[in-house]
Amino acid sequence: MNQQLQAKLKTLPSNPGVYFHKNASGEIIYVGKAAVLKNRVRQYFQKSRDVDAKTWALVSEIVDVDWTITESELDALFLESEMIKRYLPRYNIMLRDDKSQTFVRINMRDAVPFVSFTRQPADDGADYYGPFYSGIAVKNALKILRKIFPYFTKKYSSKSINSKLNVQLGLEPNIENGVTKYKKDLRKLTSYIKGNRIAVINEIKKEMEVAAKAQDFELAAKLRNQLFNLNELRKQIVFGRDEFLDISKDQALVGLCDLLNLPEIPRRIEAYDVSHISGQHNVSSMVVATNGVADRREYRKFKLKTSGNDDCAHMRETIKRRLKHLKDWGRPDLVIIDGGIGQLSAVADLLNDEKIPFIGRNKSGNHSRNASVKIIFANLARNDPAKEKYENVELGTDNHVAKLIARLDDESHRFAVSYHQVLRGKNQTKNILEEIPGIGASTRTKLLKKFGSLATVKNASESELAVVIGSSKAKLVASCLASPGKVK
């Protein structure tokens, strides 16, 4: 251990936070979280510790350590997850098991939503939070929060004996009083998970004041207890992220601000990408980073109306539709476009009219995270309308700004491709029966249940079809299947 690192370790705080181990070239080789930074980071350099060969290999490369203080242990868990996805440190890959990653899943669209955990998020409309590399910590935290905001852990059933017991214990809501109140409390829980601790507390305070004025003292007492328990959570494990993270210490955000001459550090960054195959099933995606951290609750996807294989036109449609939602979705401080000068030129007038800085990432066919990051930006994005010349900057693989841009651009690519695959999959499972006017889902189900497949239905005679769906419909189906061109 060098003297500079030794002196730096003496300044480690006792707060929870995230630490970054760096090698001689300044590359981040490992990211970790700690309940007490001082204790956890110093453990790496204790000679008496019995550790495996991989950990010793990590320690032998550590030349410098940086850290970011967070409000709580779970706040550190949020930040650790995002930083690993941004920097992809090689020792995190070597020392961690991907199977241990955990996501929290909540689908507010369900009639009676419930909270669950999964290792594989699906594109099913639910909200997913994670991944978290310590599933036990996340599950323990939600157990504590459940005592404040009761929720179901599986699909609701009024016949469940355990459900009645859990209501008495205060772990599940009394759904007999209606689902509206339950969803309201669940939204507070999700808001808390998203990091809006102060907003949730202020909301409960206002509700308590209203209840007290209305002399609903039972409700006021319940809200008072919620406030007390929320404040007590700070002594245990607490969800939080945006409001406690000091973004002035995020080297990527600071570097991005300096590189683009932005007036202030970009708090909301949006990245866009387009996906299609030969101009079919055209879609685009918008992913969002809040204070440098991927913010899945703000992601959006677009089913494009512009046909054909024209990425520039597709990107223009996407940005045009996005800008219609500046009031309800929020205003971006920076936009990242997947593409080169063509894509940037297609949207330049739209973004410049709103005075929104924008850059492009030109991968030139290279999607590798190990490749250098080439960004393109116009002087217009630097508030210099007199010059329209685009500038190219190539950032090294170890550059903090490059890591952030690559992380968001790759995330937008992943999100767009996943949506494209969903649409393509739906189209592939669509059959000609769905295109026959007058033949509904019930009739199609009867046919497929009886004959087993579309091919067998096609080979069936009109009389065989009539036995299942009646003579008039059988005649229509047989005619359309015999001449597919008639189907509209």
Indicate if the pLDDT at residue 288 is higher than 50. yes
CA distances from residue 242 to 76, 167, 267, 282, 371 in whole angstroms, order as listed: 11, 33, 10, 33, 30
Out of 45-54, 316-325, 398-407, least confident range: 45-54
Please count the residues of the chain.
Answer: 488
Q: Residue 407 — left, alpha, or beta (φ > 0 → left; ψ -120 to 50 → alpha)?
A: alpha
Confidence class of residue 268 from pLDDT cuts 50, 70 and 90? very high
pLDDT at 368: 53
Average of per-residue pLDDT across 139-164: 77
Indicate if the pLDDT at residue 98 is higher than 70. no
Indicate if the pLDDT at residue 255 is higher than 50. yes
State the pTM of this model.
0.50
pLDDT at 242: 35
Give the whole-angstrom CA distance, residue 298 versus residue 288: 6
Q: Is the Cα dihedral 210, 214, 215, 216 positive or negative?
A: negative
Match 């440190």 to its residue by tokens. 89
Q: Which amino acid is at 142?
A: L
Average of per-residue pLDDT across 79-84: 80
Query: Nearest to residue 78, comparing CAs of 184, 213, 195, 250?
Result: 195
Confidence class of residue 237 from pLDDT cuts 50, 70 and 90? very low
Q: Is 29 helix (H, G, I), strand (E, B) or coil?
A: strand
Give the whole-angstrom CA distance, residue 147 versus residue 342: 54
Name the percent of the chain lying above pLDDT 70: 79
pLDDT at 478: 85
Average of per-residue pLDDT across 455-468: 86
Residue range 19-43, pLDDT digits in tens: 999 999 888 999 988 888 888 898 8
Q: Is 170 helix (H, G, I), strand (E, B) or coil?
A: coil
pLDDT at 485: 45
Indicate if the pLDDT at residue 176 is higher than 60. yes
Confidence class of residue 174 from pLDDT cuts 50, 70 and 90? confident
pLDDT at 236: 43
70 or 316, higher pLDDT: 316
Confidence class of residue 96 from pLDDT cuts 50, 70 and 90? low
Task: Give the single-character DSSP code of 373.
Answer: E
Average of per-residue pLDDT across 95-100: 55
Confidence class of residue 64 from pLDDT cuts 50, 70 and 90? very high
Indicate if the pLDDT at residue 66 is higher than 50. yes
Query: Nearest to residue 26, comparing CAs of 54, 62, 77?
Result: 62
Average of per-residue pLDDT across 133-146: 74
Indicate if the pLDDT at residue 276 is higher than 80. no
Strand-pair category, 115-118 with 373-378: unpaired
The full DSSP string for 376-421 is EEEGGGGT-TT---EEEEEE-TT-HHHHHHHHHHHHHHHHHHHHHH
Radius of gyration for the alpha carbons in the chain, expressed in angstroms and rounded: 27
Confidence class of residue 278 from pLDDT cuts 50, 70 and 90? low
Sheet hosting strand 102-106, strand order edge to edge: 115-118, 102-106, 127-132
